[in-house]
Amino acid sequence: MKTILVTGTNKGIGLEFARQYLNEGFKVIATCRNLSKLDGLNGLVNSFPDKISIYQMELLDEKSIEDFSLGIKDIPIDIFINNAGVTFGYSRNAKLSNTGISLNKLNAFGHIQTENWLPIFKANCIAPLLLAQLLYKNIMLGKEKKMVFISSKPASISENTGGSMYMSRSSRSALNQVIKSLSIDLLGEGISVASISPGWVKTDSGGLNALIDVNTSVTGIRNVIENLTIKNSGKFWDYNGEFIPW
Ligand SMILES: NC(=O)c1ccc[n+]([C@@H]2O[C@H](COP(=O)([O-])OP(=O)(O)OC[C@H]3O[C@@H](n4cnc5c(N)ncnc54)[C@H](OP(=O)(O)O)[C@@H]3O)[C@@H](O)[C@H]2O)c1
């Protein structure tokens, strides 16, 4: 039985990954940053008590990442999906921050502040690599040997015609560069690596105006993961199987 590790599984795309893989008979290791806020995961725990295990993991806390890695010991992981992350700039109805400024506005020229940018960069770019380093031993024990990082189409520099979204675009463009290096460094180990955009998806991050639902996004990404091999490692995919220019 294959084992999938998915981060950020209490809601949205991460929860849908857990749901679809469990229904397909996989074992799922699911991380959440707040174990008292499992949200939709509670239903999956009731339906698949022997196939799902849940761990706490906060991307902004290195000790939490290390504790998680120690907690799963030497469990073989076939597919690692780095899903947890932050998206700013899609939802027109983004919640107001405690300063009263729209979260989208915080991502716009004239409003950028270091204190807002750094945690996004850490969660979207630095923490995924730290996690990959710690999970390397588990991936090497798995059969599939796949590392998948949920990125975002606005990370593409050549497709940036809309401007703005400074924090989300830059953190994911940097993540894409990390993914490319990782794919080269891990080629000899037989680990295939992919950057995948989920599309514009109706979730808390994507907002109500988004174009697709979580089922469409995750079904597409699972097909991409199925087609991921060492030969096409190190590419930037769209959820529908097309390649996105860097
Ligand atoms: N929806 C879209 O259109 C879209 C487009 C491009 C990329 N993405 C990316 O797709 C991934 C899934 O997003 P989604 O649409 O499903 O959004 P979502 O419903 O808001 O879910 C985001 C998940 O990431 C977790 N998370 C956020 N910051 C974290 C941190 N510092 N440490 C640990 N977990 C953290 C959240 O946990 P909490 O519930 O505790 O906050 C939640 O589980 C994210 O990386 C997002 O940036 C989404």
131: CB partners within 8 A, 6+ apart:
7, 59, 65, 69, 80, 82
Instruction: Please give the helix or strand (H or E) that residue 219 lies within, else none.
Output: helix 214-227
pLDDT tens, 32-70?
A: 999 999 988 999 999 999 999 999 999 999 999 999 999
Distance of CA 63 to the CA centre of its chain: 19
> Scanning the structure block, which residue is given the tokens 């990370």?
155
pTM given for the model: 0.96
Percentage above 70 pLDDT, the chain: 93
Per DSSP, 109 falls in state T
Give the Cα separation of 51 and 168 in Å (integer).
Answer: 34
Q: How remote is the CA of residue 87 from the centroid of ligand 1, in Å?
A: 7
Residues with CB under 6 A from ligand 1: 8, 10-14, 33-34, 58-60, 83-87, 90, 123, 150, 152, 198, 200-201, 203-206, 210
Q: Which residues of 184-203 are buried (b: 16+ CB within 10 A; e: fewer)?
A: eebeeeebbbbbbbbbbbbb
Q: Report the residue among 10, 203, 213 best suited for mutation to probe ligand 1: largest number of ligand atoms under 8 A from its CB.
A: 203
Atom of ligand 1 nearest to the CA of 122: 31
Report whether CATH 3.40.50.1820 matches the domain 3-238.
no
Judge whether residue 15 has pLDDT over 80: yes
Domain map of the chain by residue range?
A: 3-238
Question: What digits encode the pLDDT tens for the residues 191-219?
Answer: 999 999 999 999 999 988 999 999 999 99
Question: Who contacts 164 (Cβ-Cβ below 8 Å, separation ≥6)?
Answer: 89, 107, 108, 109
Residue 5 reports pLDDT greater than 80: yes
Count of positions (residues) in the chain: 246
pLDDT digits (tens, 9 = 90+) for 105-117: 788 888 889 998 9
Cα–Cα distance, 68 to 148 (Å, whole number): 18
Segment 119-125 mean pLDDT: 96
